[in-house]
Each structure stands twice: as C-alpha cells, then as structure tokens.
Amino acid sequence: MFSNFRKRYIGDKGFYMAVIALIIPMIVQQGITQFVNLLDNVMVGRLGTNPMSGVAIVNQLIFIFNLTIFGGLSGASIFGAQFYGKGDEKGLRHSFRFRLLFGLGVTALGLAVFLFFGDQLFHLYLNKENSSPADIAATLGYAREYLLIMLWGLFPFMVMQVYSSTLKDMRETFSPMMASVISISVNLVLNYLLIFGSLGFPKMGVRGAALATVIARYVEMLYLVIYATRRKKKFTFLQGAFKSMRVPLPLVKKITITGTPLLLNETLWSMGTAMINMCYATRGLTAVAATNITGTANNLFSIIMMTMGNAIGIMAGQLLGANDIEGAKDTVRKVMFFSVSCCVVTGGLLAVCAPFIPYIYNTEEAVRQIAAQTLIICGCFQPVHAFVNCAYFTIRSGGKTFITFLFDCAFTWVVCLPIAYSLSHFTALSVVWVFFFVMSADIIKVVIGAFMLKSGIWAKNVVNDTAA
C-alpha cells in the first residue's frame, strides 16, 4: 500500500532535483523580497500607527494594480510556457509583445484612477466610529504623501513583470532572482537613509519609504532589461521583438479568450480582498495596523507555498505543450504533495513565532495582540492554502481560465466577502473571529479543487492549433 502511495505522490531523486532547481531561485527571490518588505514595514511602523496605517491603505490599493498586471500577463504566460515547450520561438515572441502592449494600457488606466479617485478610495478604509478625527486626518495625510510618489513606480514594475514572466516561461529564474536581490538591497539601504534621515540624508518619513521603493523598481527593471538584451542569442524571442509590435490576430483572440478570466480573476480577487480588509477596518485603525502586520509577516512564511504554485504552473504547462498529458498529471500530484508537506512545517513555525513578531513594531499593545492571534490562524491554515494555490496554478496551466475564475475570484465574492461583511457589520465579533471565519472558508475550496484535479479537465494542450 505504501509503495503505491509513494509511487503516486512521492517522486524520485531526479524529480526533486528538477523541482528544486526551478524553485530555489524563486525562493531566494521571494524570500529576500518578503524579508525586506517586512523590514520596510517595520521601519515605517517605527514612525507610529498612523503612518503605518496610511502606507498600508495605499499598498492595498496598489496591490490591486499589481495583480491586474499579473492577471493580464498570466494568460500570455500560459501560451508562452507551452510555446517554449513546443519549441515555437515566434509564438513566444508574440506572447512577449502582447504582454508589453497590455501592460502599457493597464499602467495608463491605473495612473488615471489613482490620480482622480485616490482620496475617495482612502476614505473606504477610514471608520469614523472607531477612530478619532485627528487619527483619521493624520492617516489620510500620510496616505496622500505616499501615493503621489509611489505612482512613479507603476511603469517600471510593469516592464519588469513583462520581462520576468517571459523569462520564467523559459525556466530562466536566476536573472529575475538577481534583479530582485539588487533591487531590494537598494530599497533597504535607501529606506534607512530616507525614512530616518541617516548619514546626512533628509528625514522624509513615509515619503522616503515611497521614494526608496520607486528607485529600487527602476533599478530592477533596468537590470532585467539589460541582462536579457545582452543575451539575445540565449533569449532568441527578443531578436526583432521591437521591429514591429504586431501580434497575429488569431493569437490575440486566443490569448484574450483564455486570459480574460485570469485578468478578471486577479483584478476582482484583489478588489474582493481589499473589500474584506475594509470590513476588518470597521473595527478601527487598530485593526488596519494589525492586519497589515499579519499580511506582511504571513507573506514571509508563505514563500514556499507561492513558489510551488508558480513551479507547478510552469512544469505542467511545458509538459502539456509537449503533449505529455500523463506526465503533467503525475508532476502535479507529486509537486502538490511536496508543497502541502512543506507548508505543514512552515505553518507550524509561523504559529510558534506569532506571539513574538508584533513586538518588532512600534505600535500599541492592542495592535500587537490582534496581530499575534491572526498570525496563529494564518499558520494553522497554511497547508490548506498550499493545496488551494497549487490547484489554482494547475487548472490555469491547461487554459481552463474560466474555471479558475470561478474557483478563485467568484469564491471570494460569493463566499468570503459576504462572511466578512455580515460578521463585521451585523455582529459584535472581534476582528480576530471575523478573520478566522473568513480563512475557514478555504476548506470548501480544498474540496472543490480536489474534485477538479481528479477529473483531469485541466489537462489540455492549448497551442497545437494556435497560429503564431
């Protein structure tokens, strides 16, 4: 019995070497990124609860932009990974062009929304009943200062994502990792200099944090673009990529049809998540600060979970592109089991560390207590989220993007958001209990995801009949 289980769910040494070779650069990249995000968050948190809350509100809104970019590029990445698996260089080049054109359009739209509707969006997070007028006014001022500078970073973030996603389709994960390492090193140093005015630099507070982030994003973009451009013999899709921005209409239609559910999914899911955070915010700025700490720390402990999802999408996509359907199914089973097993460990570590993490912030004891409790909940649910994340990327790898939309976004709006809204507006439950019940809803997704994976409806080659 165990031998059958091992054969089905546990790979051999060669399998794990291939998985590790793919995920290690992404783990290093994500690990450093999330660690620096934590330090960045702590540095801003040293300024006080109001500055931290203002920055947290802006970052939640920019998170929607980031995921919209990610979602729009994801459709092209499905084709990019399968084109690469098929050996179709021209198809990969067209998918790159599509990403760039899409990214430019979304960036322009994002700038317009933030510039004209920024204040209205900020007020959605500011509850007048549970926060003083002085705290609300201060938080609003910090949010405005931070946003106006952060807008300069939207363009380099988009370009970096276009290049990074295309290179990852080719299993090139080292250069995006190096770009990220350099970028976050710059960000960390500039944070220290500009937030606190160290070594003769001006003390800029939240404006310094924003400026450091923007400069770091330009550094990351330039590194990746220069790296790829100088290696056109390796990254042959870049040869002649900018001579024309033409993308064959049949491919545009296919990417659009396949990718639109992903775009809507990431955009609406991030909006749904933002609205859930607004529900938490009904408990006051204390809840805003606490959930900000929770989100930042949880992301650091979720690195393996996030990278395993990307890995399963890349590996399954390439196998599907090569018409190795059974190989794709076998890979998915084994990577998923590996991911869930790893997250049992990382989730346990998070739960153990949870009571201590909030004490690195300069904030009120009430904020620390809430953050500690919500972090324990995150740790307990991490294996659940690992399964759900792998299921999401698996279904997506075969082009079943509408099902992915229903699985991820629709679930957030139909199940998670109503739970958060009902409990926060119609009960006196604390934000910790509201948070727990929202997280518990993902158990339903495990059941749904397991059914869809077992059915095999996701295992499909989407590039065989695509004109490139």
Predicted pLDDT of residue 2: 55
Structure token digits, residue 10: 């546990």
User: What average pLDDT does this structure show over 422-447?
Assistant: 92
Predicted pLDDT of residue 467: 46
- Comparing 434 with 45, which gets the higher pLDDT? 434
Predicted pLDDT of residue 348: 94
Q: What is the mean pLDDT of the chain?
A: 83
In this structure, are residues 229 and 168 in contact, taking their beta carbons and an 8 Å threshold? no
* 303 pLDDT tier (thresholds 50, 70, 90): confident
Predicted pLDDT of residue 36: 66
Please write the tens of the pLDDT for every residue from 160-185.
Answer: 999 888 888 787 878 888 888 888 88
Is residue 133 predicted with pLDDT exceeding 70?
Answer: yes
* 320 pLDDT tier (thresholds 50, 70, 90): confident
Q: How far lies 245's CA from each of 109, 159, 228, 306, in Å? A: 20, 15, 18, 32
Helix axes 249-281, 417-426, angle to 10 degrees: 20
Tell me which of 1-5, 167-171, 316-320 is least confident.
Answer: 1-5
Predicted pLDDT of residue 8: 63
Task: Pick the most confident of 134-138, 308-312, 365-369.
Answer: 365-369
In this structure, are residues 277 and 434 in contact, taking their beta carbons and an 8 Å threshold? no
Residue % of the chain over a pLDDT of 90 = 24
pTM score of the predicted model: 0.71
Predicted pLDDT of residue 294: 92
The DSSP result for 267-295, as a single string, is HHHHHHHHHHHHHHHTT-HHHHHHHHHHH
How many angstroms separate the CA atoms of 135 and 362, rounded? 16
In this structure, are residues 57 and 288 in contact, taking their beta carbons and an 8 Å threshold? yes
Instruction: Please report, as a single letter, which amino acid is at residue 369.
Output: Q
User: What average pLDDT does this structure show over 371-394?
Assistant: 91
Backbone dihedral angles phi then psi of residue 424, each to the nearest 5 degrees: -80, -30
Of the candidates 64, 48, 113, which has an alpha carbon nearest to the alpha carbon of residue 277? 64
User: What average pLDDT does this structure show over 15-40?
Assistant: 73
Backbone region of residue 172 per phi and psi (left: phi > 0; alpha: psi in -120 to 50; beta: other values): beta
Q: Is the four-CA dihedral 112, 115, 116, 118 of positive or negative sign?
A: positive
Structure token digits, residue 402: 């509408």
How many angstroms separate the CA atoms of 225 and 159, rounded? 8
Query: Can you give 52-72 as a three-state secondary structure string?
Result: HHHHHHHHHHHHHHHHHHHHH
In this structure, are residues 98 and 187 in contact, taking their beta carbons and an 8 Å threshold? no
Q: How far lies 167's CA from each of 84, 263, 372, in Å? A: 10, 20, 38
Instruction: Please report, as a single letter, which amino acid is at residue 101.
Output: L
Provide the CA 175 distance to its chain's centre, in angstroms: 19
List the Cα angle 289/293/299 in 5-degree steps.
Answer: 145
Q: Is the four-CA dihedral 207, 208, 214, 215 of positive or negative sign?
A: positive
Please write the tens of the pLDDT for every residue from 222-256.
Answer: 999 999 888 877 777 777 778 777 878 888 888 88
